[in-house]
Amino acid sequence: MDINPKNELAIPKRNLPRDVFLHLFAMVALYWSAISFITLCWQYVNYFFPDVLNYNYGFNSAMRFALASLFIVFPLFMLSSWLLNKIYSRESQVRDSKIRKWLIYLTLFIASLVIIGDLVFTVNTFLNGEITARFVLKALSVLIVAAAIFGYYLDDVRRQDPSKLTKIYALASIVIVLIMVAAAFFIVGSPVKARLAQIDQQRTSDLQNIQYQIVNYWQRKQQLPKNLSDLEDPISGYTVPQDPETKMPYEYTLVDDKNLKFELCATFSLQGDQQGMMSAPAVPMMYKDSQGNQGNWQHSAGHVCFERQIDKQLYPPLTK
């Protein structure tokens, strides 16, 4: 402490920029962590309670982004909160600062709106008869997280000194987040598996693209290509894709020229159901068999061939 001219102890000088930074950083990290945790909870619900009307496009991407956020942002939130508590123990006036109270009351306001909105939406959905296990679990996850934040900060803002339960809250939060994150790896798999799944998705997309080009070739020339190089067109700029990993060409076999049967083959790294919930294909499936069923691209690991037959009625030759 400094001594003033009258030999009286001076009040420690406040470090306002530091206080503003730490309080703002802690609150932003709190919001980000809470949203990421809720997102992770929702993806668990999507995985264990799949909706037949919802293909969950981008499931793995949403879960991985939530995991990445919790990996980075949640520890930073815990660190900034720990630093603030250390400062509170040395400088009690920081705990009573207006910036801290404004941010806490803003957090309480947002949490209360989330709780009210969640309850109203839940009751409205129940009255409409649309209540499902998926909806209840998602609404419950939002309610629990918002209520936990609201309860903790409402108790904290009323106290002159930090609560003795702060460490218990912190340890409980860390344990819950660690369990949720660790369990998520059994769903999304390791980064190596994720890369293999993306490569397999690219293979499927390439085969769909080639299939479309074969159908288009038949409609324009009334015959199937003898090999994949026949599909290449220097004017349109189309080139036949290759396997993204091995850089080898995909296999094409003309099975029956008269009945318009052909076969496309590729070597996949994973079984189709091990890739997680895949995103929407980049190229729509243009093939239908004689019964009007769309082509199936489910596959096992290893070398897989897809036999196709073009229906002349569904894909007639193009008129000149």
Range from 55-64, 141-150, 249-258 carrying the lowest mean pLDDT:
55-64
The larger pLDDT score, comparing residue 133 to residue 289, is at 133
Q: In the structure, what pLDDT confidence band is assigned to residue 7 with cuts at 50, 70 and 90?
A: very low
What residue spans define the domains of the chain?
Answer: 16-188, 192-309
Who wins on pLDDT, 87 or 11? 87
| Residue 130 pLDDT grade (very low, low, confident, very high; cuts 50, 70, 90) | low
pLDDT range class, residue 292, cuts 50, 70, 90: very low
> Which residue in this structure is represented by tokens 């007639």?
316
- For residue 243, give the amino acid letter: D
| Amino acid 121: pLDDT | 80
pLDDT over 80 at 81, yes or no? yes
Asked whether the predicted pLDDT for residue 302 surpasses 50, the reply is yes
DSSP letter string, 261-313: EEEEEEEESS-GGGS-SPPPPSS----B-TT-PBPP----SEEEEEEEE--TT
Which residue from 207, 208, 211, 197 is spatially nearest to 301, judged by alpha carbons?
197
pLDDT at residue 236, as a whole number = 83
Q: List, for residues 85-111, the tens digit of each pLDDT value.
A: 888 878 777 777 888 888 888 888 988
pLDDT in tens, 20-72: 888 889 989 999 999 999 999 988 988 888 765 555 555 677 888 899 999 99
Give residue 53's pLDDT.
55
What integer best gives the mean pLDDT of the chain? 81
Structural tokens at position 253: 């076999």
Q: What is the pLDDT of residue 225?
A: 93
Between 263 and 277, the higher pLDDT residue: 263
pLDDT at 281: 38
> Phi and psi dihedrals of 263, rounded to 5?
-140, 135
Residue 232 near residue 217, CB atoms below 8 Å = no
Q: What is the Cα–Cα distance from 313 to 295, expressed in whole angstroms? A: 16
| Residue 242, strand partner residues | 249
CA distances from 163 to 25, 152, 299 (A): 21, 10, 57
Q: Please identify which residue in the block is written with the tokens 């939002």.
A: 142
Q: Whole-angstrom Cα distance, residue 60 to residue 80?
A: 30
Please report, for the chain, how many H helices and E strands are present, in that order: 7, 3
- Band of the pLDDT at 205, cuts 50, 70, 90? very high
Per-residue model confidence (pLDDT) at position 52: 59
Q: pLDDT tens, 221-230? A: 999 999 999 9
Beta bridge partners of 308: 262
CA 215 – CA 221 distance, rounded (Å): 10
In eight-state DSSP terms, residue 275 is S
Confidence (pLDDT) at 14: 61
Looking at residue 15, what is its pLDDT?
Answer: 66
